Amino acid sequence: MIKIIPKLVYSLNVKKGYEKIKKFDELTKNAPEVNKQLMLDLVKRNASTEYGKKYHFDQIETLETYKENVPFSTYDDYAPYIERMIEGAEGLITNDPIVHYALTSGSVDNPKRIPVSEDTVKNYREYATQFSFAIICRALGKNWKKWKKGRGLNLMEVKFETLPNGLFAGSISGRGVYSIKDLLFLMFTSPKEVVFPKEIMDSKYAHLRFALTDRSLSFICSAFMTAVSDLMKYLEINWELLVNDIEKGTIDSEIKIPDDVKKQLLEQIKPDPKRAAELRAEFQKGFSDPIIPRIWPEFRFVHAIGSGGFSVYTDKMRYYLGDIPVYFSVYAASESIMAICNEMESQEFVLIPDSAFYEFIPMDREGESEETLTMDQLETGKDYEIIITNTSGFYRYRIQDVVRVMGWYQKCPKIQFVYRLNQMVSIAGEKTTEECISWAVKEFAKEAGCELVDYSVYADTMISPGRYVLLMETAERLSKDKHDEYREIIGEKLSIANPSIGKKVKSGVLSHSEITFVQEETYALYRDLMIHRGISGNQLKPVRVIDTLIKENFFFALVDKE
């Protein structure tokens, strides 16, 4: 019975997903017009709001008048409205009902609270769930690799705070999970006590404790690949403890779970010596052969954001997955879901024309002009800053992302996230992106023959001239004697990734780049610390740029000096 129910739930989602794909295919045939019409509809719907009156939305009937009347915006432009909305005011920036406030992951000190309308939640649900499951189902086909639609392991937890207006604030991915709360147990292995944690607990243990007992586990889904990779590392270290507990039907006393929750979890657990013996036999063979297909024979995919800055974690996951594919999910933010993969393993995302209105500023444009382009005016291979008008009351909003046009799906651009404008490092105008750093570090690891755990970049302007310092954690400690050689390699790779660095080092505008290794487990400690401070594990992104004093102090205190 238990196997039939998830199959029915997923089949229904996939069926809706196929309908969504059909609709999407129609929309993308006419994407520029659909997208422009969405903007006109939003403006009309919100003409009577305070923001709409301020910028004369009632006079907007064309793209040109929209651009003339409405200025670019940032979060700070909306913050005073949002403060009032949280106290209960309505009709300020949108007339659509706001159902949630998304806490952004970017800032530790003062997280932003992004209003989320029911329309935005619907877009997330229909694209990130139904559409994507249909794409996966279609890709896996009908042969032996077919997805049998067993339950999955969902790592997206729901931790909300209640605002004065009675609405919840929390991660946008958590809101997506919350919207299917009644179906969760049918779709996923983790019980509600784990998905809706009231207190801090050993959540990796808790997720695995239930997922491992289900031999038919089909997939893992998470907001970011970081969490999936961390989970598998935990399994590699702690499998004996987990298997012992599965055998005896217990939860080891060293596992931190509040007593009342532990009691509820134990009521759902029975000793399972047969499954424990099967798992033990596989774990004892080691992890050098991919472990996931051996312990979960029906496992078919991972569904998580894992491209760009996350790719180091995706690479690690291949070690556990073997040839099991990854679905790279969506290109999204708290403000909107913007693009989606329409193929398995593809790292290119098709813009969703009915989710937000998009404008673009070419990155190679000289001068100060801020004239924007629409999607039909973009060129393949070029980079653009993306500006969105969303379905939750943000207009011409500078999300600070730069995307690259990789190709086209019908009349809709396929894009890749390239870097965040506020994460770009520039000491002397050389403008080094996350993409450059990622490439240089990976090339370094290849040449130095080391396995990369994580990395960051720091613009060191305390010396003159300034220099790039690459901080890396490697799986094995590298020889101190070769430091000069490593320094040369990273300098060379950075100069290839961004030739402007090479030229500026040669001409003395920049000092030679430096490489520094941090102690083992430093990046894991940083994540532990952020979670301890209340940041949701769903939202933890890799630290690519050391851009605050807090990060600077933390990472440089933990440099491996031995």
Partner 1 sequence: MNIEFKKENENTVVDMEGRLDTNTAPNFQKELEAYYNVQGFSLILDFEKLDFVSSAGLRVLLLIQKKSKALSGNMVIKNVKPEIQEVFNMTGFSEILTIE
Q: Residue 355 is encoded by which pair of tokens?
A: 């989710």
Q: Which of 143, 253, 288, 464 binds partner 1 (CB under 8 A)?
A: 253
**Which of 266, 475, 496, 557 is the binder for partner 1 (CB under 8 A)?**
557
Q: Choose which of 315, 370, 520, 547 interacts with partner 1 (CB under 8 A).
A: 520
Peptide bond into 465 cis (omega under 30): yes
**For 45, phi and psi rounded to 5 degrees?**
-65, -30
Q: Which is nearer to partner 1, 342 or 474 (CB)?
A: 474
If phi > 0 it is left, if psi is from -120 to 50 it is alpha, else beta; for residue 386 that is beta
Closest CA to 539 of 162, 164, 160: 160
Amino acid occupying residue 134 = A
Window 117 to 146, contacts with partner 1 (CB under 8 A)? none
Amino acid at 336: S
Q: Answer yes or no whether residue 475 interacts with partner 1 by CB under 8 A.
A: no
Looking at the Cβ atoms of 269 and 524, the one nearer to partner 1 is 524
Cβ proximity to partner 1, 185 vs 556, nearer residue: 556
Q: Does 258 bind partner 1 (CB under 8 A)?
A: yes
> Which is closer to partner 1, CB of 127 or CB of 517?
517
| Strand 467-474 with 514-517, pairing | parallel
Cross-strand partners of 360: 373, 386
Name the nearest CA neighbour of 414 among 498, 336, 328, 335. Answer: 328
**Binding residue for partner 1, selected from 72, 408, 439, 554, defined by CB under 8 A:** 554
| In 106-171, alpha helices (H) | 118-123, 132-140
Range 520-529 contact pairs with CB under 8 angstroms and sequence separation of 24 or more: 520/453, 520/473, 520/477, 520/560, 521/473, 522/473, 522/555, 522/558, 523/453, 523/454, 523/473, 524/230, 525/558, 526/554, 526/555, 527/226, 527/230, 529/554
Work out how close the CB of 236 gets to partner 1 at its nearest, in angstroms, rounded to a whole number. Answer: 14
Q: Is 450 in the site for partner 1 (CB under 8 A)?
A: no
CA torsion sign for 543, 548, 554, 559 is positive
Q: Is 153 in the site for partner 1 (CB under 8 A)?
A: no
**Contacts with partner 1, 326-355, as mask; x by CB under 8 A:** ------------------------------
Minimum gap (Å) between residue 264 Cβ and partner 1: 16
Strands (E), 118-211: 152-154, 161-162, 168-170
Q: Do 344 and 327 touch, CB atoms closer than 8 A?
A: yes
Q: Which window, 206-214, 367-375, 402-410, 513-521, contacts partner 1 (CB under 8 A)?
A: 513-521
DSSP 66-106: HHHHS--B-HHHHHHHHHHHHTT--SSS-SSPEEEEEEPSS
Q: How far is the CB of 522 from partner 1 (least distance, A)?
A: 4
Tokens 């799906």 sit on residue: 409
Please check whether residue 32 is in contact with residue 358, taking contact to mean a CB–CB distance below 8 angstroms: no
Q: How far is the CB of 456 from partner 1 (least distance, A)?
A: 14
Residue 532 touches partner 1, criterion: CB under 8 A: yes
Note whether 524 binds partner 1 by CB under 8 A.
yes
Residue whose CB is less far from partner 1, 202 or 278: 202
Binding-site residue total for partner 1 (CB under 8 A)? Answer: 23
Of 151 and 527, CB closest to partner 1: 527
For partner 1, the binding residue among 275, 280, 525, 541 (CB under 8 A) is 525
DSSP secondary-structure letter at 421?
A: G
Instruction: Name the token pair of 464.
Output: 């003159």
Distant-in-sequence, close-in-space partners of 556: CB < 8 Å, separation ≥ 6: none
Query: Is 266 an interacting residue with respect to partner 1 (CB under 8 A)?
Result: no
The least distance separating partner 1 from the CB of residue 515, rounded to whole angstroms, comes to 18
Binder of partner 1 out of 146, 181, 256, 446 (CB under 8 A): 256
Does residue number 2 form part of the binding site for partner 1 (CB under 8 A)? Answer: no
Q: Does 474 bind partner 1 (CB under 8 A)?
A: no
172 or 201: CB nearest partner 1: 201
The structure tokens 């289900």 sit at 214
The token duo for 100 is 């949630």
Residue 165, both tokens: 């207006």
Place of tokens 């993306």: 386
Residue whose CB is less far from partner 1, 157 or 401? 157
Q: Which is nearer to partner 1, 108 or 406 (CB)?
A: 108
Among positions 181-220, residues that touch partner 1 (CB under 8 A) are 199-201
- The neighbouring-strand residues paired with 409 are 412
CB of 556 to partner 1, least distance (A): 7
* Among 19, 44, 519, 547, interactor with partner 1 by CB under 8 A: 519
Task: Tell which one of 89, 281, 463, 529 touches partner 1 (CB under 8 A).
Answer: 529
Nearer to partner 1, 246 or 518 (CB): 518
Check residue 518 for interaction with partner 1 (CB under 8 A): yes
Sites of contact with partner 1 (CB under 8 A)? 199-201, 253-254, 256, 258, 518-522, 524-525, 528-529, 532, 550, 553-554, 556-558
